[in-house]
């Protein structure tokens, strides 16, 4: 700036320039006092024009010691003719400091310095902007250094101007390797360079571009990155910045989440269990097809409805709502309840309910229903069978043991016990088969139950043993029940060949100190005494019924009579003793006792029998044997009954014996039975003549018949009064 001349051509121009200047202007005399100041100066320093005029300038703007000295020197230098400009601090009237730029210009008149122009420019705002800029630059530097995201600044050609360490680490570059290189080459190897270049061109147009993509590191490994790029300078500078965030882990998590969602959806849609998604208020959001099948509602019918109102029975509403609240509150539910279908039929279900956070933080309940109706039926059946006899439906020994513990109290006294034992069960099983034996057991159970009261406990404790508990029952009243059982047995005697006979024993607990086990033992002893008394009568009854069976049909009676006569003749012909002949006649009479279990329509059917029917016939020797063993009157011919269908060559039944291993009585009866059957009445074939029958016997001698016995029989039949040496029986 050149030194100013005090002469101005336009005073008005000068005044306007002085007063309207945006900077504070002071004319300072050589004595350091203010001769004149403009309004901007007064406002800048907080003084009035009167306070300023005539005052020492340094006393106005630098009145504290640390500023006064430098201000005085500045004034001296300018007054001495030096033109100065510097940036410093000055003070307002209120003592506050602010930055200024001061320009000092000497005023020369007549070759001498008469005053000084002092110009003050307030640069507070400029300083604040500079400070802000410095802070922003510091922040940027800190961000560049500390950011976990990779940052690259590049020009319009895609050349990297600057990048941070995270960028180099992210893309596998060495320290300082990124600067000066192509951004496309740094992040777009592996065939992605053209894609990066297109993104840069797009950025020039749009100024800001966000996207996610796969980029390739220097080592060839692909990474998922989220990229935010933007222009950071005016258009003519063409500077851009790209921020790269590694989202590989997030992408993997998203893939896992997507897989889990797929699993969840498949589980929900395809699960065989009924599933409902319910909000925290119990309102259905969605149900799967299994829910539709189980409860009969469609998905559209369920949505928006309260789950508990829809499927819970009315009387279970409070319980159902409590379960929903429990699950919605974060608890787990695993219970078994009854729920209703759309048609209001009820089913047993297992309910499993859990909750998880949904959108907005509200929990969603995942309610699973499994139909357990069949399991409940099975469990009920299992409970029933664990305490009941499978054959009779009566209680079993396990139940009785628990009931004894429950009933063994003073309040239940007196407690009577009846022990019952079914007679002749083994005989029925052996003679007629276990099916008939089971029928007898069932009949016995029904009889016992029918003779007892509803509150009495009837149990089957073993094969043929039963026990009856009579709480609150005296011996006298229990005796009446025993009488009813005996009457029931008598009324059913005519129904079967083997009479229904039950031995009974009775005892009672009348004092709380008595041992219940001893009471049961006493009843058991009484039952065995009764059994001994009945056994003889029972056997006699069976024998009478056997006789009735054998003589009840004229065809059978005729066969037996003829066979007994032949047996007597043959016994005499063999010179047997009288007792041996009597035994042979007895065997002839009872040899077919096993046929008692064969229906008459099979025994006397004309024509061939089926395989099952023949099998039934073939079993009669064994059944006859067991019957004979149970009847003392015919026990001694039981072995002959068992073996009378055995053939000499071993092709007979039931044991397939051969030759001398067949008891002699069996061999004789087989021969005599064959002859009588051939010459007598047969439903399946016409009778043969005496000569034809003997020829048949002769033909089968050695195969079906004992040769010695057959020879004697043929000889007897040919000689009117034969006498031969006796044979041992």
Distance of alpha carbon 388 from alpha carbon 355, whole angstroms: 43
Distance of alpha carbon 290 from alpha carbon 297, whole angstroms: 10
Helix, strand, coil percent values for the chain (each to nearest 5): 50, 20, 25
Distance of alpha carbon 401 from alpha carbon 386, whole angstroms: 12
pLDDT digits (tens, 9 = 90+) for 213-254: 888 888 888 889 999 888 887 655 678 888 999 888 888 888
Q: What is the pLDDT of residue 727?
A: 33
Burial 615-634 (b: 16+ CB within 10 A, else e): ebbebbbbbbbbbbbbbeeb
- CA 687 vs CA 561, 565, 677, 701: distances in Å: 17, 18, 8, 20
pTM of the entire predicted model: 0.51
Distance of alpha carbon 142 from alpha carbon 681, whole angstroms: 127
Q: What is the pLDDT of residue 327?
A: 83
Copy the structure tokens of residue 700. 């089968």
Q: What is the pLDDT of residue 1?
A: 43
Tokens 């949904």 -> residue = 358
pLDDT digits (tens, 9 = 90+) for 73-107: 888 888 888 888 999 999 999 999 999 999 999 99
pLDDT digits (tens, 9 = 90+) for 403-460: 888 888 888 889 999 999 998 888 888 877 888 889 889 999 999 999 998 889 999 9
Q: What is the pLDDT of residue 548?
A: 80
Q: For the chain, list residues with pLDDT below 70.
A: 1-10, 190, 234-237, 358-361, 492-497, 682-684, 720-729
Distance of alpha carbon 271 from alpha carbon 369, whole angstroms: 11
Distance of alpha carbon 726 from alpha carbon 339, whole angstroms: 88
pLDDT digits (tens, 9 = 90+) for 449-493: 999 988 899 999 888 899 999 999 999 999 999 999 988 887 755
Q: Are 525 and 505 spatial neighbours (Cβ–Cβ below 8 Å)?
A: yes
Distance of alpha carbon 316 from alpha carbon 370, whole angstroms: 18
Residue 26 makes CB contacts below 8 A (sequence gap 6+) with: 34, 36, 37, 38, 41, 52, 57, 117, 118, 119, 120
Distance of alpha carbon 189 from alpha carbon 192, whole angstroms: 6
Q: Give the domains, in start order, of the chain with CATH numbers.
A: 4-122 (3.30.450.20), 129-251 (3.30.450.20), 274-376 (3.30.450.20), 407-535 (3.30.70.270), 552-718 (1.10.3210.10)
Q: What is the pLDDT of residue 699?
A: 93
Distance of alpha carbon 253 from alpha carbon 247, whole angstroms: 10
Burial 527-546 (b: 16+ CB within 10 A, else e): beebbeebeeebbebbbebb
Strand partners, 115: 29, 107
Q: What is the pLDDT of residue 8?
A: 44
Q: What is the pLDDT of residue 4?
A: 47
Q: What is the pLDDT of residue 98?
A: 94
């Amino acid at each position: 700036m050149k030194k100013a001349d005090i002469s101005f051509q336009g005073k008005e121009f000068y005044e306007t320039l002085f007063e309207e200047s945006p900077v504070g202007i002071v004319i300072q005399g050589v004595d350091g006092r203010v001769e004149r100041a403009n309004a901007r100066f007064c406002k800048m320093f907080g003084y009035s024009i009167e306070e300023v005029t005539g005052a020492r300038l340094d006393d106005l703007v630098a009145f504290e010691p640390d500023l006064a000295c430098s201000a005085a020197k500045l004034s001296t230098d300018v007054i001495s003719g030096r033109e100065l400009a510097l940036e410093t601090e000055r003070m307002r009237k209120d003592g506050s400091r602010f930055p200024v730029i001061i320009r000092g210009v000497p005023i020369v008149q007549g070759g001498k310095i008469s005053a000084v122009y002092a110009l003050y420019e307030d640069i507070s705002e400029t300083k604040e902007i500079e400070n802000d800029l410095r802070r922003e630059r510091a922040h940027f530097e800190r961000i560049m250094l500390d950011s976990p995201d990779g940052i690259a600044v590049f020009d319009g050609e895609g050349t990297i101007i600057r990048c941070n360490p995270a960028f180099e680490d992210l893309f596998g570059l060495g320290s300082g390797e990124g600067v000066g290189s192509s951004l496309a080459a740094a992040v777009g190897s592996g065939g992605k360079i053209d894609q990066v270049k297109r993104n840069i061109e797009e950025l020039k147009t749009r100024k800001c571009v966000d996207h996610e993509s796969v980029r390739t590191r220097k080592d060839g490994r692909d990474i998922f990155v989220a990229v935010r790029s933007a222009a950071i300078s005016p258009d003519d500078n063409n500077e851009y910045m790209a921020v790269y965030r590694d989202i590989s882990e997030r992408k993997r998590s998203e893939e896992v989440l997507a897989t889990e969602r797929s699993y969840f959806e498949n589980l929900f849609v395809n699960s065989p269990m009924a599933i409902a998604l319910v909000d925290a208020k119990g309102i259905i959001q969605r149900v799967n097809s299994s829910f539709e099948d189980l409860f009969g509602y469609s998905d559209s019918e369920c949505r928006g409805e309260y789950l508990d109102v829809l499927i819970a029975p009315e009387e279970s509403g409070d319980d159902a709502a409590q379960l929903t609240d429990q699950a919605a509150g974060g608890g787990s539910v695993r219970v078994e309840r009854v729920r209703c279908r759309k048609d209001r039929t009820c089913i047993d279900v297992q309910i499993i309910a859990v909750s998880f956070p949904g959108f907005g933080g509200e929990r969603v309940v995942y309610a699973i229903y499994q139909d357990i109706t069949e399991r409940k039926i099975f469990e009920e059946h299992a409970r029933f069978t664990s305490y009941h006899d499978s054959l009779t439906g009566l209680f079993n020994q396990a139940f009785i043991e628990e009931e004894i513990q429950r009933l063994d109290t003073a309040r239940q006294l007196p407690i009577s016990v009846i022990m019952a034992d079914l007679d002749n069960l083994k005989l029925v099983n052996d003679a007629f088969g276990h099916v008939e034996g089971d029928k007898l057991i069932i009949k016995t159970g029904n009889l016992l139950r029918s003779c007892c009261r509803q509150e009495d406990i009837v149990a089957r404790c073993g094969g043929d043993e039963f026990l009856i508990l009579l709480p609150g029952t005296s011996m006298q009243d229990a005796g009446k029940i025993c009488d009813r059982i005996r009457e029931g047995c008598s009324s059913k005697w005519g129904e079967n060949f083997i009479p229904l006979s039950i031995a009974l024993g009775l005892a009672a607990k009348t004092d709380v100190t008595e041992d219940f086990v001893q009471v049961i033992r006493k009843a058991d002893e009484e039952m065995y005494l009764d059994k001994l008394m009945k056994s003889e009568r029972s056997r006699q009854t069976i024998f009478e019924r056997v006789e009735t069976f054998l003589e009840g049909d004229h065809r059978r009676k005729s066969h037996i009579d003829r066979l007994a006569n032949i047996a007597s003749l043959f016994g005499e012909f063999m010179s047997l003793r009288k007792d041996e002949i009597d035994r042979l006649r007895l065997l002839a009479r009872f040899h077919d006792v096993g046929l008692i279990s064969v229906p008459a329509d099979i025994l006397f059917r004309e024509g061939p029998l089926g395989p099952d029917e023949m099998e039934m016939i073939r079993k009669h020797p064994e059944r006859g044997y067991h019957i004979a063993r149970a009847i003392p009157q015919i026990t001694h011919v039981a072995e002959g009954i068992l073996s009378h269908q055995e053939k000499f060559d071993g092709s007979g039944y039931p044991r397939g014996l051969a030759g001398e291993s067949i008891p002699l009585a069996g061999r004789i009866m087989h021969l005599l039975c064959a002859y009588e059957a051939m010459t007598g009445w047969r439903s399946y074939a016409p009778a043969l003549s005496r000569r034809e029958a003997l020829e048949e016997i002769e033909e089968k001698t050695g195969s079906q018949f004992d040769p010695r016995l057959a020879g004697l029989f043929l000889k007897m039949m040919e000689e009117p009064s034969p006498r031969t040496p006796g044979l041992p029986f």
